[in-house]
């Protein structure tokens, strides 16, 4: 049986976006577009992103995957979605469960417009400071909240990013047993810091140029990010970069079951009184008290994935790539320099 998320994502992709090759973005013939859809099996691609792991997505030179953390929250997420729509670009949103509950209409819009929806815990908790059981609950609850808003767990990708990129080995093992693909990143724009939109753009581009491809980490909860995004996308187009959207392979669903006595996602969705009722005071500050930390600036070499890859072109001319990784050794401990800087941060 095909995963509803994949079917809906591809349908939305074809309906809402022109590709960079076709140049058929409504109202913007010079749009960046989305060059292809990359389908991955979480069981084969368990850990992604060279900031923490040895492997990343099997991207070609000058391909980039856009990811946004910590939302949804109006008006910033809406502005990010407006920019992406104007450029016919698809991204992955790692949403916080309580934010999804507070602003369901924004998350529903992101899904409706064809973006991939991953998760980022229920409360943006520091999972490295929780017991394995409590951390697992944070992960499961965040997934359940997104599923409740979208109406079905199959509409939430089994893609997960740890808040602050922090975790323990035990928590990572729990997440993998839940059928999740664990996403770090290859570079970021430092947009959680108090810098200008111009600086966000410059940092993201400089770090991309150093690696020539990879997963970009940004945050859709900041005005500076929304303001930086139009220039960033235009520069990507100018420099010959292509955006790739990542979706789960057909049938790939998180192994997170509804517990007895809890409300089903569809019932819970119906119980949400009104979309985007006023969030509790200081929702953003309370949920995201501490920003994502800078990774160690030690240069890292991208380790090419050992994969079997199959490209297929559908009737509309959009390339879909399905990949399967051969068995390779994975890294679980992270970079020792990064762990050192994390320890300093907590002092």
Burial label, 256 (beta-carbon count in 10 A; 0-12, 13-18, 19+): buried
Output the domain CATH number for residue 223: 3.20.20.370
On whether the CB atoms of residues 227 and 327 are closer than 8 A, the answer is no
- pLDDT for the residue 24: 78
Residue with tokens 């970069």: 241
Which pairing describes strands 47-48 and 36-40: parallel, antiparallel, or unpaired? Answer: unpaired
Here the tokens at position 321 are 């790539």
Mean pLDDT score of the chain, rounded to an integer? 78
| Backbone dihedral angles phi then psi of residue 54, each to the nearest 5 degrees | -80, -20
The 3-class secondary structure across 33-87, one letter per residue, is CCCEEEEECCCCCCEECCCCCCECCCCCCCEEEEEEECCCCCCHHHHHHHHHHHC
- 3-state secondary structure at position 267: helix
Here the tokens at position 53 are 């792991």
Among the listed ranges 21-35, 67-81, 212-226, which one has the minimum average pLDDT value?
A: 21-35
- pLDDT for the residue 288: 39
Full domain range(s) for residue 97: 4-345
Among the listed ranges 99-103, 223-227, 321-325, which one has the minimum average pLDDT value?
A: 321-325
**Annotated catalytic sites, by residue?**
69, 219
- pLDDT for the residue 180: 98
Q: Domain count of the chain?
A: 1
Give Cα separations from 102 to 68, 157, 210, 281 (angstroms). 18, 20, 38, 11
256-288 pLDDT per residue, tens: 875 443 344 443 443 443 344 333 333 333 333
173-232 pLDDT per residue, tens: 999 999 999 999 999 999 999 999 999 999 999 999 999 999 999 999 999 999 999 999
């Amino acid at each position: 049986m095909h995963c509803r998320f994949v079917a809906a994502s591809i349908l939305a992709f074809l309906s809402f976006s022109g590709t960079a090759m076709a140049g058929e973005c409504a109202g913007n013939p010079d749009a960046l577009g989305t060059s292809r859809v990359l389908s991955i099996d979480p069981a084969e691609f368990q850990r992604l992103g060279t900031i923490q792991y040895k492997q990343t997505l099997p991207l070609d030179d000058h391909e980039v995957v856009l990811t946004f953390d910590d939302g949804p929250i109006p008006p910033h997420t809406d502005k990010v979605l407006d920019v992406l729509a104007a450029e016919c670009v698809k991204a992955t949103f790692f949403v916080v469960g309580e934010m999804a509950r507070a602003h369901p209409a924004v998350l529903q819009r992101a899904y409706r417009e064809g973006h991939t929806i991953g998760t980022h815990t229920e409360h943006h908790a520091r999972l490295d400071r929780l017991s394995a059981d409590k951390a697992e609950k944070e992960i499961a609850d965040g997934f359940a909240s997104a599923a409740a808003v979208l109406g079905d767990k199959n509409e939430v990708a089994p893609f997960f990013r740890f808040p602050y990129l922090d975790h323990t080995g035990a928590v990572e093992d729990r997440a993998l047993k839940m059928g999740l693909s664990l996403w770090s990143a290859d570079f970021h724009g430092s947009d959680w810091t108090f810098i200008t939109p111009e600086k966000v753009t410059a940092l993201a581009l400089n770090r991309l140029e150093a690696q020539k491809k990879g997963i970009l980490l940004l945050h859709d909860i900041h005005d500076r990010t929304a303001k930086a995004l139009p220039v960033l996308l235009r520069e990507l187009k100018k420099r010959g970069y292509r955006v790739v959207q990542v979706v789960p392979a057909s049938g790939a669903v998180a192994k997170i079951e509804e517990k007895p006595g809890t409300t089903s996602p569809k019932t819970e969705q119906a119980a949400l009184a009104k979309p985007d009722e006023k969030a509790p005071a200081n929702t953003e500050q309370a949920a995201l008290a501490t920003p994502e930390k800078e990774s160690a600036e030690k240069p890292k070499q991208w380790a090419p994935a050992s994969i079997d890859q199959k490209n297929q072109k559908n009737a509309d001319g959009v390339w879909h790539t399905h990949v399967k990784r051969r068995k390779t050794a994975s890294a679980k401990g992270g970079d020792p320099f990064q762990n050192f800087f994390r320890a300093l941060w907590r002092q």
